């Protein structure tokens, strides 16, 4: 399976900063080919259009949105619709990130609605799941991952299951590893990813093997090669270390 290396810029970068990054980034990418990598960038909404224009002639590179509201238009003050994101060139949507689950208090039901509606509107979805440190310490890893993944998939009509490969990815991001410099250990990653694969198999059968599982949480150029070599790790979702073009490029080359 082609490895997915994704950058989540969160609430960082003005348009000017994003454009400067894109110039440096694409100049390096043009010099090499990364046939075995799919590179995704999730910038803030305001930079999506500019990045899409910069990336348009580079294969294997796509732009996504960090959030959306599951309706195409309506009286939803402050929200952004799938239609508007198509309009600026986004192809992927990030759903269920821990910052949205915990800071914005998005529920599993709402996240499930977003997954199903994002797919309906023709987007590719990257669903994030992961336990807090308190949940891990309470022995709830398996039940939390099960609940977060099952609730998102259970809402999908069965006829679309076989079409999910290429349109659906899951990112395991333990909350305690996000932005802390404390990357999950190999055993922890292998255990969590095996659990997620099992839940996928239970719902999707054979196609579960073709759904990429990414790891996210304090990924850096130094730990990326090890993480990418682990069982069931089909890619990386990178926050802080994706904000510098050179450091993200090193992770892509890992």
Q: How far apart are CA 6 and CA 233, in angstroms?
A: 13
141 versus 171: smaller Cβ distance to ligand 13P: 171
Smallest separation, CB 132 to ligand 13P (Å): 13
Q: Give yes or no for a contact between 193 and 215, defined as CB atoms under 8 angstroms apart.
A: yes
Residue sitting closest to ligand 13P (CB): 239
25 versus 248: smaller Cβ distance to ligand 13P: 248
Smallest separation, CB 241 to ligand 13P (Å): 6
Contact residues toward ligand 13P (CB under 6 A) are 8, 97, 173, 178-179, 216-219, 237-241
60 versus 240: smaller Cβ distance to ligand 13P: 240
Reduce the DSSP state of residue 193 to 3 states and report it.
helix
Alpha-carbon distances, residue 250 vs 150, 178, 183, 226 (angstroms): 34, 19, 17, 13
Smallest separation, CB 10 to ligand 13P (Å): 7
Phi and psi, residue 244, nearest 5°:
-105, 125
Q: Give yes or no for a contact between 64 and 90, defined as CB atoms under 8 angstroms apart.
A: yes
Smallest separation, CB 80 to ligand 13P (Å): 19
51 versus 204: smaller Cβ distance to ligand 13P: 51
DSSP 184: P
Smallest separation, CB 59 to ligand 13P (Å): 24
Q: Nearest to residue 215, comparing CAs of 173, 158, 153, 180?
A: 173
Reduce the DSSP state of residue 48 to 3 states and report it.
helix
Residues with active-site annotation: 97, 173
Exposed (0-12), middle (13-18) or buried (19+): which is 193, by Cβ within 10 Å? buried
Tokens of 232: 């069931």
153 versus 219: smaller Cβ distance to ligand 13P: 219
């Amino acid at each position: 399976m082609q490895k997915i290396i994704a950058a989540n810029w969160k609430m960082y970068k003005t348009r000017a900063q994003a454009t400067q990054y894109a110039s440096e980034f694409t100049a390096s990418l043009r010099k090499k080919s990364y046939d075995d990598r799919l590179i995704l960038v999730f910038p803030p909404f305001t930079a999506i259009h500019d990045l899409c224009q910069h990336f348009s002639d580079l294969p294997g590179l796509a732009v996504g949105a960090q959030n959306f509201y599951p309706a195409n238009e309506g009286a939803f003050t402050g929200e952004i619709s799938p239609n508007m994101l198509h309009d600026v060139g986004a192809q992927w949507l990030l759903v269920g990130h821990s910052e949205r689950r915990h800071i914005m208090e998005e529920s599993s039901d709402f996240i499930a609605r977003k997954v199903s509606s994002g797919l309906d509107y023709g987007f590719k979805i990257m669903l994030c799941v992961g336990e807090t440190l308190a949940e891990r310490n309470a022995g709830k890893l398996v039940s939390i991952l099960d609940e977060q993944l099952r609730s998102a998939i259970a809402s999908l009509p069965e006829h679309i299951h076989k079409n999910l490969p290429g349109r659906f990815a899951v990112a395991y991001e333990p909350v305690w590893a996000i932005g802390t410099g404390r990357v999950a250990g190999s055993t922890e990653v292998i255990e969590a990813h095996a659990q997620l694969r099992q839940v996928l198999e239970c719902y999707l059968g054979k196609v579960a093997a073709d759904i990429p599982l990414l790891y996210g949480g304090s990924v850096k150029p130094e730990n990326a090669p090890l993480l990418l070599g682990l069982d069931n790790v089909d890619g990386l979702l990178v926050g802080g270390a994706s904000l510098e073009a050179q450091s993200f490029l090193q992770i892509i080359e890992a």
